[in-house]
Amino acid sequence: MRPIIEELPGSKIREVANAGIGRSDVLPFWFGESDEVTPAFIREAAISSLNAGETFYAHNLGLPELREALAAYVSAAHGPTEVSRLAITSSGVSALMLAVQALAGAGDDVTAVVPVWPNLTAQPAIMGARVRRVALVPKDGAWRLDLDALLDAVTSSTRALIVNAPSNPTGWTLSRDEQAAILEHTRRTGTWIVADEVYERIYFGAAGRVAPSFLDIAEPEDRLVVIGSFSKSFLMTGWRLGWMVTPPRLIEALGKLIEFNTSCAPVFVQRAGLAALARADEVVPQVVSHLRRCRDTLLPRLSALPRVRVAVPDGGMYAFFRLEGERDSLSLAKRLVVEAGLGLAPGAAFGAEAEGWLRWCFASRDPARLEEGVRRLAAFMRV
């Protein structure tokens, strides 16, 4: 086996979850998904497709009707986006892997903004690329971009810049000005931007708005790949359906690459995606307003605890916080499971930069569970 594969780190979130295995009294907020089942009409669309016998291979790039519907969905948020720029993938994470496979090979330099969901840095490492980490800077519980440091780190030898905003785990969101500066800089250095925007709709900045996207300001031919997913905004994590928006010149080759990875997304899953998009205007605002309620339930209670340093996130579904005085987030998260029945993800899972922090996924069907979680944390802290 290639050493890099043998050496892949295990998930520290799983390590914490394993500490609670078999315990029904643990409140699990460790994974990045809602505990809400996918809306029934979406499930029905998949069932109808299966009952109609749609059990065969499909086009590498996705069903034409789904690509059309997605083009309309993306265009409505970000301006005209041609179908010829879209590929349907078997999940957002697969889209990210395809982007990295297409753009960064052995020995290439890739820069990533961290702390971040670990897949984003593991994927280029798997390809043999060298990953340079540029850390966001924590201040008063929030994480800020040092734009100059990022631009300094992206040079003409940087093949790709990987950036996830709204961010998992920090909740940090790129501003329009920062995006413009990054785009302009990468045009000069010839660097690809791989923008993970799977949380773009989970945005609390302004009602009915999506987070600022590189798609809003880029030209179709810019070196930009934007990753999207059905997982978060349609409560479809288990379905494994995502997409990528690329310059038109990449799409044909990506179709071939998809052939060698998954060949195609399952048709019945794509039918479910089609149903979801048809009622996106109804489903997504409901999901977001529920998540806003969850955020507004958790954050004031959490920040009222002594020693907790946390900022209210503008996007995503995570409270990322620091307990002053705690340095070892993995052992702290394990103790919280065992001693308090509270399941959180350790900051160390997202990089050494986030050591001492904890991530709390607030996507809870029942916000009262978040209140109970805070009570358990307070009892653990003896306050």
Ligand X SMILES: Cc1ncc(COP(=O)(O)O)c(C=O)c1O
The number of helices, as runs of H, and strands, as runs of E, in the chain is 13, 15
Asked if 233 touches ligand X (CB under 6 A), the answer is: no
Helix/strand/coil (H/E/C) assignment for every residue in 318-353: EEEEEECCCCCHHHHHHHHHHHHCEECEEHHHHCHH
Asked if 317 touches ligand X (CB under 6 A), the answer is: no
Contact between residue 171 and residue 298 where contact means Cβ atoms under 8 Å apart: no
Asked if 270 touches ligand X (CB under 6 A), the answer is: no
Asked if 38 touches ligand X (CB under 6 A), the answer is: no
Cα dist from 69 to 73, 133, 249, whole Å: 6, 36, 21
Q: Alpha-carbon distance 184 to 340, whole Å?
A: 49
Q: Which residue number, 20 or 242, has a Cβ lying nearer to ligand X?
A: 242
DSSP 191: P
Q: Which residue number, 172 or 341, has a Cβ lying nearer to ligand X?
A: 172
Q: Return the residue of 20, 28, 32, 266 that touches ligand X, per CB under 6 A.
A: 32
- The helix/strand/coil state of 313 is coil
Q: Which residue number, 111 or 231, has a Cβ lying nearer to ligand X?
A: 231
DSSP 90: S
Q: Which residue number, 108 or 197, has a Cβ lying nearer to ligand X?
A: 197
**Which residue number is nearest to ligand X in terms of Cβ?**
92
How many residues contact ligand X, by CB under 6 A? 13
CB of 78 to ligand X, least distance (A): 18
Q: Which residue number, 81 or 167, has a Cβ lying nearer to ligand X?
A: 167
Asked if 246 touches ligand X (CB under 6 A), the answer is: no
Build a one-symbol-per-residue string for 92-131: x at contacts with ligand X by CB under 6 A, - elsewhere. Answer: xx-----------------------x--------------
CB of 156 to ligand X, least distance (A): 27
Q: Alpha-carbon distance 335 to 32, whole Å?
A: 20
Q: What is the DSSP string of 114-135?
A: ES--THHHHHHHHTTPEEEEEE
Q: Which of 207, 200, 182 is nearest to 192 (CA)?
A: 182
Q: Alpha-carbon distance 17 to 337, whole Å?
A: 8
CB of 270 to ligand X, least distance (A): 14
DSSP 38: P
Helix/strand/coil (H/E/C) assignment for every residue in 45-71: HHHHHHHCCCCCCCCCCCCHHHHHHHH
Which tokens go with 61?
């790039």
CB of 282 to ligand X, least distance (A): 21
Asked if 351 touches ligand X (CB under 6 A), the answer is: no
CB of 381 to ligand X, least distance (A): 28
Asked if 198 touches ligand X (CB under 6 A), the answer is: yes
Q: Which residue number, 254 or 374, has a Cβ lying nearer to ligand X?
A: 254
CB of 135 to ligand X, least distance (A): 17
Asked if 347 touches ligand X (CB under 6 A), the answer is: no
> Which residues from 65-94 bind ligand X, rule CB under 6 A?
91-93
> Which residues from 146-175 bind ligand X, rule CB under 6 A?
164, 168
Interface residues with ligand X (CB under 6 A)? 32, 91-93, 117, 164, 168, 196, 198, 229, 231, 237, 242
